[in-house]
Amino acid sequence: MSKYVLNVVNVSKTFSAHQSTVEAVKNVSLHVGAGECVGLVGESGCGKSTLARLITRLEPVDTGEISLCGEKISHLCGAALRRAYRNVKMIFQDPRSSFDPRMTIGASIREAIKASTALSRRERAAESVRLLCEVGLDASYDRVYPRQISGGECQRAAIARAIGAKPRLLICDEATSALDVSVQAQILDLLRTLRRQQDMAFLFISHDLALVSSFCDRTYVMRGGEIVEHGPTGDIIARPKHPYTQKLIGSILAP
Ligand SMILES: Nc1ncnc2c1ncn2[C@@H]1O[C@H](COP(=O)(O)OP(=O)(O)OP(=O)(O)O)[C@@H](O)[C@H]1O
Ligand SMILES: [Mg+2]
């Protein structure tokens, strides 16, 4: 078994639109160890979400290789691909857009449980309520639709759905950016608790270095599609080497 739940090696992705091309991800290498919490930080448009979409195979890579729990995924398809991705779940910035508006929250969670476990219908119903309680929502949320609850509640439900699959890696792409500061703090507390309780690794993506540094053991700094610096978060904050990282830190220390 590989010591990495995620290993990204020399991955690149270029988009072509009309006459222009964008090198969104350039020769990026990054890894996440089992149970490790890794941050990916950088300004808007630097390629963070594209990298997350490559990792989750929502987009194909141009070149390079991605492995999940030691298994290379670029050549996988069908059932083998679905099996590899049982180990990975993702939480997005806008939780509402990741739920089917025609399904209740409970139905969405049960569907995710069905896709990744062998539980019976009755067990799935009980598990859905248990997961809602675990993220601080009560059983009544099982029967509501995404439009009937707040953004923070919807993000909790998205986390419940993700952890229901017992992933080894949870990718959070700006998972708290759309929430107000107090709800953001509650969601981060919830993620910290889950981190302690479950042997789950995180790839925590944000433009906010302060947030990443409060949450992650190691951090990668991305700029213009490239990783410009990486290392233990404490070292990056205390002794940033790249001028861009120094600028990022300057901006969070500024009054
Ligand atoms: N499907 C696409 N087609 C064309 N260009 C794209 C596509 N997806 C992303 N891009 C471009 O790739 C670059 C990186 O975008 P990406 O969404 O990965 O940035 P980001 O770091 O996640 O930004 P943000 O912090 O605003 O979410 C941008 O220039 C974007 O316009
Ligand atoms: Mg993004």
What pLDDT, in 10s, does the model give residues 22-69? 999 999 999 999 999 999 999 999 999 999 999 999 899 999 999 999
What pLDDT, in 10s, does the model give residues 147-188? 999 989 999 999 999 998 889 999 999 988 888 888 888 888
What pLDDT, in 10s, does the model give residues 104-124? 999 999 999 998 888 999 999
Atom of ligand 1 nearest to the CA of 50: 18
Strand partners, 229: 221
Does the pLDDT at position 193 exceed 90? no
Helix (H, G, I), strand (E, B) or coil at 76: coil
Q: How many domains does the chain have?
A: 2
Query: Does the beta carbon of 108 lie inside 6 Å of ligand 1?
Result: no
CATH of the domain at 189: 3.40.50.300
Q: Which domain holds residue 124?
A: 99-166
Q: Are residues 205 and 232 in the same domain?
A: yes
- First-to-final CA distance of the chain: 47
In a domain? residue 25: yes
Q: Are residues 120 and 243 in the same domain?
A: no
**Alpha carbon of 140 to ligand 2 centroid (Å):** 32
Query: Does the beta carbon of 48 lie inside 6 Å of ligand 1?
Result: yes
Ligand nearest to the CA of 26: 1
Average predicted confidence (pLDDT) for the chain = 91
Query: Does the beta carbon of 49 lie inside 6 Å of ligand 1?
Result: yes
Helix (H, G, I), strand (E, B) or coil at 202: strand
* CB proximity list for 190: less than 8 A, separation 6 or greater: 135, 136, 156, 159
Residue nearest to atom 22 of ligand 1 (CA): 49
Q: Are residues 13 and 132 in the same domain?
A: no
Query: Does the beta carbon of 21 lie inside 6 Å of ligand 1?
Result: no
Q: Residue 42 burial (CB < 10 Å; 0-12/13-18/19+)?
A: buried
pLDDT over 90 for what percent of the chain? 68
Domain end residue (candidates: 166, 189, 213): 166
Q: What 8-state DSSP symbol labels residue 48? A: H
In a domain? residue 144: yes
Are the beta carbons of 152 and 141 closer than 8 angstroms? Answer: no
> What's the CA gap between 141 and 134, in Å, rounded?
12
Query: Looking at residues 66-77, what average pLDDT do you find?
Result: 90
The Cβ of residue 186 has, within 10 Å, a number of other Cβ atoms equal to: 15
- Using N-to-C axis directions, what is the helix angle for 181-197 and 151-164, rounded to 10°? 10
Q: Are residues 205 and 156 in the same domain?
A: no
Q: Are residues 248 and 184 in the same domain?
A: yes
pLDDT tier, 254 (very low <50, low <70, confident <90, very high otherwise) = low
Atom of ligand 1 nearest to the CA of 42: 21
Atom of ligand 1 nearest to the CA of 222: 21
In a domain? residue 94: no
